[in-house]
Structure 1
Amino acid sequence: MRFAPNSLWCRVVSAIYSNGSCTKESAWWKDVKVACGGEGEGWFQEGILKHVRAGNATKFWLEDWSGVGILRERYFRLYNLSRLKGAFISDCGVWVQGVWNWKFEWRRPIVGREVLWLQNLISDLAGVRLVENSMDKWTWSPSPDGVYSVNSSYSFLQVADLAPPNPIFNLIWHAAAPSSVVAFARRCILDRIPCFESLLKRHVISSYDAAVCLFCQKDIETSFHLLFSCTFALDVWYGCLNWLGISSALPMEPRAHLLQFRFGSYTSHNQGLMTIWLAGIWTLWLSRNAKVFRQEEAIVTNALELIKLRSWQWIRTKITTFGYSIFEWYSNPLLCIQCM
């Protein structure tokens, strides 16, 4: 199910155990889907490790085996040119007197910048050491002998359940935003929102060209890119900082980005700034959806106005002691937050 989801036996098993409703599926079937790379990868995915030996059971472009990420995502232009898109590692080269030599097949000659990309690909693969006449294998890391057992899984889950909660989630949970927005923020931090990259991995869309960010038209739309590093998103966030009267560099990772919007340990101050941050990611997401589904143009000034309005409405609704007008909020948000 993980590597041949369209095979006959996989479709038969899915037809038997999946009733078409995620809410009515058994816990067993949900875990099977997670183990096979479905949405919400969790404990099982963390426990399994793949050891690449000769590369005869590992997809060259489609699996994360090289130490630099999934090669299809890192070199998607070369992937589109490849004639061996679904090939195993062992199909992408030959053994010559005990030494492995990469040998790729392309639909046309490599030209221009593609030559540099190919050089970078070969450089990334320089540290890979394949073993001739051996088989790739999976191991179960929680077990000393690498063999899966129910007992080792139970012990692994017991330890996972004792892990302390992430303090980042406490920050957003206490913000004065609707629960749906807080839930979206949590999914964003965990990189589980349905951006184009996620849809591409699940074969909902099939072309890398269709997965390019609609705002900047430059990079693949990942959740982190869309909300934090895209040129449109950066203009919106720096506009927010300018409105707040704060001068700061902004990280591209959601946890670090969130921590830029806080006042030390002052709970009430953080509550206001967290609400602004939530309004920011929510507005960017809605702007993206408006562009995808209604072809509406995304404008930085309009997004900033919506962030100001939404954050004021949310705070005024959730915090009864907040009595500042929309004009006061627009004029001096930090003063309003400090007096909360």
Structure 2
Amino acid sequence: MGRTFFFGSIHGPMECRLPVDVDQVQQGWNCFLSHPLDFFESTHPSRLQVFLNRFKLIDHSIDEVIWKADQLGPFSVSDAVKLIVQAGNFPSPAWPKVVWGNNVPSKIMLFHWLAIKQSVPVRVILFKRHILPPNHSLLCNWCMNEDETIEHLLLHCPWSFKIWAELFRWWNLRWIIPCSVEAFSFDWFYGMGLNASKYWKLIGPATLWAIWIARNDFIFKGKFTCRSVIVRNIKLKVFLWATNLKLCHGFQAYVWDQNPFLLFS
């Protein structure tokens, strides 16, 4: 009996045959090459044989791949990240707690993550990736004064800032917007107070998404949405999410719109 495996090579396949006795598994591999090896390839068979000799094949069994980081064997990204962090002594980032599992739709969570990772396709990012031509304008469509970066579009543009300011007035808050989306995310996640934070965990991502959708509608559809409509849609969308999460009730819509602090006073 025998088993044959084929390994890719620059010039052709390399055939490796393992002779297997019916009564006893022979420890070792015999490699038969289908072509002469070049000098730089001559060390590969011996290195391959040393590697394979660490494994003992059991006859009459199905080959399978087992992920050793998990006791049950299946691979998971979370286990891989833990291994990388442990091996390299990398500090575990804190922003995943702010983004993932935040009870907002997956597409909005993904957009929030892209904004933190500086991967939203605004004009400056597209220019750096050589998608926009060199002579293309990088100015923000709303203010036409500064280049369209992620932070400028979503946070600091006068047009976007007025949306945030109206939401702050709605909650009777005074807040200075930080320089990055990540820092601002920590503000609404941890800094609004325990009762307000559970609502702002929804309001923050919803506002980022609403600003991005309004920007795309203006560029690709020629549709301009006024800020009051955007704010009203944000309030309605978040109220529906909060109702589904049992943070408030449907009959409290008027209270939500006028003075949301009464919901937990």
If the TM-score is normalised by the length of the shorter chain, which range does it land in?
0.5 to 0.7
The yes-or-no answer on 1:333 pairing with 2:251 is no
**TM-score, normalised via structure 2 length:** 0.61
Q: 1:236 aligned to 124, 144, 163, which one? A: 163
Identity of aligned residues (%): 22
Q: 1:197 aligned to 117, 124, 146, which one? A: 124
Contact 1:241–1:247, Cα closer than 8 Å, also in 2: yes
The yes-or-no answer on 1:221 pairing with 2:148 is yes
Whichever of the two has the greater Rg, that structure is: 2
Contact 2:153–2:160, Cα closer than 8 Å, also in 1: yes
The alignment covers a number of residue pairs equal to 182
Which one-letter code corresponds to 1:312 in the other structure?
F
Q: List aligned pairs for 1:281-320, cutoff 5 A.
A: 281-317=208-244, 319-320=245-246
Distance 1:158 1:261 in 2: 27
Distance 2:158 2:243 in 1: 31
Q: 1:322 aligned to 217, 227, 248, which one? A: 248
Distance 2:85 2:93 in 1: 17
Offset of 1:174 from its aligned partner?
4.1
Q: Indicate the residue corresponding to 2:103 in structure 1.
A: 176
Which one-letter code corresponds to 2:216 in the other structure?
N
Note closer, same or farther for the CA distance 1:284–1:321 as it changes in structure 2 (3 Å cut): closer
Q: CA RMSD in A?
A: 2.5
Note closer, same or farther for the CA distance 1:254–1:285 as it changes in structure 2 (3 Å cut): same
Distance 1:298 1:292 in 2: 12
Deviations 1:162-199 (A, max 9, x none): 53442232123343311211111011111111111111
Note closer, same or farther for the CA distance 1:161–1:184 as it changes in structure 2 (3 Å cut): farther
**Where does the alignment leave 5 or more consecutive residues of structure 1 unmatched?**
1-155
Give the secondary structure class of the aligned counterpart of 1:233.
helix
Distance 1:282 1:274 in 2: 13
Q: Indicate the residue corresponding to 1:273 in structure 2.
A: 200
More RCO (CA 8 Å, sep 6+): 1
Note closer, same or farther for the CA distance 1:233–1:266 as it changes in structure 2 (3 Å cut): closer
Deviations 1:41-96 (A, max 9, x none): xxxxxxxxxxxxxxxxxxxxxxxxxxxxxxxxxxxxxxxxxxxxxxxxxxxxxxxx
Distance 1:267 1:179 in 2: 24
Q: Indicate the residue corresponding to 1:257 in structure 2.
A: 184
Deviating beyond 3 angstroms after TM superposition, the runs of 4 or more aligned structure 1 residues are 156-165, 262-269
Note closer, same or farther for the CA distance 1:265–1:279 as it changes in structure 2 (3 Å cut): closer
Distance 2:203 2:188 in 1: 8
Distance 1:203 1:218 in 2: 22
Q: 1:163 aligned to 66, 90, 96, which one? A: 90
Note closer, same or farther for the CA distance 1:208–1:241 as it changes in structure 2 (3 Å cut): farther
Which one-letter code corresponds to 1:199 in the other structure?
L
Q: Indicate the residue corresponding to 2:13 in structure 1.
A: none
Distance 2:176 2:143 in 1: 20
Distance 2:247 2:176 in 1: 33
Offset of 1:159 from its aligned partner?
5.5
Give the secondary structure class of the aligned counterpart of 2:147.
coil
Contact 2:98–2:189, Cα closer than 8 Å, also in 1: no
Contact 1:279–1:307, Cα closer than 8 Å, also in 2: yes
